[in-house]
Amino acid sequence: MVHRRLTFFAVLVVALLLQLTVSPEIGIGSVKPDILLVATICWALFEGPGQGALFGFCAGLLEGIFSTAVLGVSAFAKIIVGYFSGELRQRVISKSVIWPMIIVFFGSILQELIRFATWALVGLEQRPPFNFGIIAGLALYNALVTLVIYPVIRHFTGQEDRALMFP
């Protein structure tokens, strides 16, 4: 139990540090990978919906604290994406990294839609314009980043031998 909590915390902190330091440097134009979202989805795929939602909440809250964004919007979006990604854990059978890449792609789009909808609902006037091209680019970039993050999280969650990623 202590090992799992320590792993949770370590993965979260490393993902946050990568988000704050590496992500801006490897951005292409205005598209920067959302490493915290990719880590949230990968964590949820191994640990299930409850842990995915918890990881998403922590990641989103930390993202809000360390950015100029409205506090809580990213946490709300990542909770939903983390939970539903964890639900997919039991529905897809694969050892390949292709399924996690697909899930990250659509999870990225879902997160952005949730963020824009939340900003619109609360009447935030200084929000970035909705641009599906940028959202699709972000989703593709996040899917590619999954190639690096997914195997690392699989190793640290101790599920390398698990035959069915999603039973």
pLDDT tens digits in sequence order for the chain, 167 residues long? 678 889 999 999 999 999 999 999 999 988 999 999 999 999 999 999 999 999 999 999 999 999 887 889 999 999 999 999 999 987 876 778 899 999 999 999 999 999 999 988 888 777 777 889 999 999 999 999 999 999 999 988 877 544 444 44
pTM summary value: 0.91
Residue 165 lies in a domain: no
Domain of 82, in residue numbers: 2-23+32-156
- What integer pLDDT is reported at residue 123 of this predicted model? 81
Residue 161 lies in a domain: no
Burial annotation 123-156 (CB, 10 A radius, 16+ → b, else e): eeeebeeeeeeebebbbbbbbebbeebbeebbeb
Dihedral sign, Cα of residue 75, residue 108, residue 84, residue 126: positive
- What integer pLDDT is reported at residue 166 of this predicted model? 44
- What integer pLDDT is reported at residue 95 of this predicted model? 74
Q: How many domains does the chain have?
A: 1
Q: What is the CATH number of the domain that holds 117?
A: 1.10.1760.20
Residue 136 lies in a domain: yes
